[in-house]
Amino acid sequence: MIISEDKAVSVNYYLTASKNNEPEQLIEETSAEHPFVFLFGYGSVLPDFETSLSGKQKGDKFDFRISSKNGYGDFEKDYVVKIDKAAFEVDGKFDDARVKVGQDLEMSDAEGNPLMGRVLSINEKEVEMDFNHPLAGHDLHFIGEVLDVREATQEELDHGHVHGPGGHHH
CA trace torsion 41, 45, 50, 51 (10° rounding): 110
Contact criterion met (CB below 8 Å) for 160 and 42: yes
Low-confidence ranges of the chain (pLDDT < 70): 165-170
CATH number of 111's domain: 2.40.10.330
Cα 5–144–34 angle (5° rounding)? 85
Residues 12 and 90 in one domain: no
Number of domains in the chain: 2
What pLDDT, on a 0 to 100 scale, did the predictor assign at position 169?
Answer: 47
What pLDDT, on a 0 to 100 scale, did the predictor assign at position 170?
Answer: 47
* Three-state secondary structure call for residue 88: helix
Domain of residue 81 covers 77-130
Contact criterion met (CB below 8 Å) for 55 and 7: no
